[in-house]
Chains A and B, each alone.
Chain A
Amino acid sequence: MKQKPESGARRFVSKKVATLLCATIFIVAVAASAFRNDAPPVKEITFNTINRDSLASVQAFEIVYKTLMSPRCMNCHPAGDVPLQGDDSHLHAMGPRRGVDGKGVYAMKCSNCHQETNTAGLHMPPGNPDWHLPPASMKMVFQGKSAHELAKQLVDKKQNGNKDMKKLIEHADDDLVLAGWDPGEGRTLPPVTHAEFKKAWITWLQSGAFAPKK
């Protein structure tokens, strides 16, 4: 079939559109060149960006979170100034207070009952030479925190006692952290082994310490 020749008016419109398109491309190209940087990109070398992987980090934090929210960890990270007790995390009998240094007050200091090692017997006071809550200046509350809130708090130097990544990793082997896995008779263990917790803790930190969305 023979094609119909295009009308004069339609040809005029096509030329106008083509001209406008060319002008736009020119303007964009000139504007873009003004922001061009020929220097090679500088890779930011900080500890928490070495292996940034938000998926692996958040997955690892699931294990960290369920461990830290278990009674063996959370009971000494209460929202108030009285420690928690038992697998149901009730307020500690006798209502001992945190005090400035986290070691109690007056006649109610932690080590008055908590000995250097666990006292034998069901539900007897667990022990450690340095038994204490976080100090008043750095309460590091776990109780009531969402995974998002806790993740943010753990790596915030203003809230974690100025701990950097190295110190945070070392903290996994702190004597009182380890005491959570030797809680004495009548108390459940955290949901994972200390080795599993430590692996998840380090993975979370080294892959960027990403906070879960919730």
Chain B
Amino acid sequence: MAKITLNINKKDYPLEVDPQMPLLWAIRDLAGLKGTKYGCGVAQCGACVVHLDGEAVRSCVTRVSRAAEKKVVTIEGLSETNSHPVQKAWQEIDVPQCGYCHSGQIMSAAVLLREKPNPTDQDIDDAMSGNICRCGTYLRIREAIHTAAELQKKTGTKG
């Protein structure tokens, strides 16, 4: 066991944990933030994506020790009022069906739009191919990312 302080959504969480523990466990079970989902547990589906210093890591295989001294952002912390362009676009297009994968989808899309504000369909495929949706909402996801890009341009907000 080790004492590790996680900074999640700008708040410090001092924890006493096994440093090998998956970050996802710490986020859900110790910090109590349930928005990030467990999907496959082997970095294959993308449901557990969170931002670690801005990168879209899969928290099911990321050890808690890697997140020490870094900034973790989960779906709850992407924006304070659900006003991130990707969140607004997701609402506008009504993307989710069952919704289980969508916190991961949104976190991945946010990284894409930060690095490529006007993505092509190919850019979207390249960025989102690791986020699986069993309901098959891929076409709506693509549409919503284009919408988010427009919103980002109009409002001048950045992902």
Residues of A within 8 A of B (CB): 93-97, 105-109, 111-113, 115-116, 119-121, 123-125
| Contact B57 A106, beta carbon cutoff 8 Å | no
Q: Is B77 an interface residue (CB 8 A)?
A: no
Per the bound structure, the CA–CA distance linking A120 and B21 in Å amounts to 11
Per the bound structure, the CA–CA distance linking A124 and B61 in Å amounts to 9
| Contact A111 B58, beta carbon cutoff 8 Å | no
Q: Which residues of B in the span 106-153 have a Cβ within 8 Å of any Cβ on A?
A: 107-109, 111-112, 115-116, 123, 126-131
Q: Known contacts A106-B108, A108-B129, A113-B130; can you find 18 more A-B pairs with CB under 8 A?
A: A94-B129, A94-B130, A95-B126, A95-B129, A96-B130, A106-B56, A106-B112, A106-B127, A107-B56, A107-B108, A107-B131, A108-B130, A109-B55, A112-B56, A112-B58, A113-B57, A115-B61, A124-B61
Chain B interface residue count, Cβ-Cβ cutoff 8 angstroms: 27
Per the bound structure, the CA–CA distance linking A94 and B107 in Å amounts to 17
Q: Cβ of B15: which chain A residues have Cβ within 8 Å of it?
A: none
Q: Cβ of A120: which chain B residues have Cβ within 8 Å of it?
A: 20
| Contact B66 A107, beta carbon cutoff 8 Å | no
| Contact B42 A124, beta carbon cutoff 8 Å | yes
**If the complex has contacts A112-B58, A115-B63, are A105 and B127 also in contact, measured as CB distance less than 8 A?**
yes
The one of A93, A94, A97, A112 that contacts B55, using a Cβ cutoff of 8 Å = A112
Per the bound structure, the CA–CA distance linking A119 and B115 in Å amounts to 28
| Contact A112 B44, beta carbon cutoff 8 Å | no
| Contact B61 A107, beta carbon cutoff 8 Å | no
Residues of B within 8 A of A (CB): 20, 42-44, 49, 55-58, 61-63, 66, 107-109, 111-112, 115-116, 123, 126-131
CB distance from B50 to the nearest CB of A (A): 10
| Contact A107 B112, beta carbon cutoff 8 Å | yes
Q: Cβ of B61: which chain A residues have Cβ within 8 Å of it?
A: 113, 115, 119, 124-125
Q: Cβ of B20: which chain A residues have Cβ within 8 Å of it?
A: 120
Q: Cβ of A96: which chain B residues have Cβ within 8 Å of it?
A: 129-130
| Contact A113 B129, beta carbon cutoff 8 Å | no
Per the bound structure, the CA–CA distance linking A121 and B60 in Å amounts to 13
The one of B42, B43, B62, B116 that contacts A106, using a Cβ cutoff of 8 Å = B116
Per the bound structure, the CA–CA distance linking A125 and B58 in Å amounts to 11
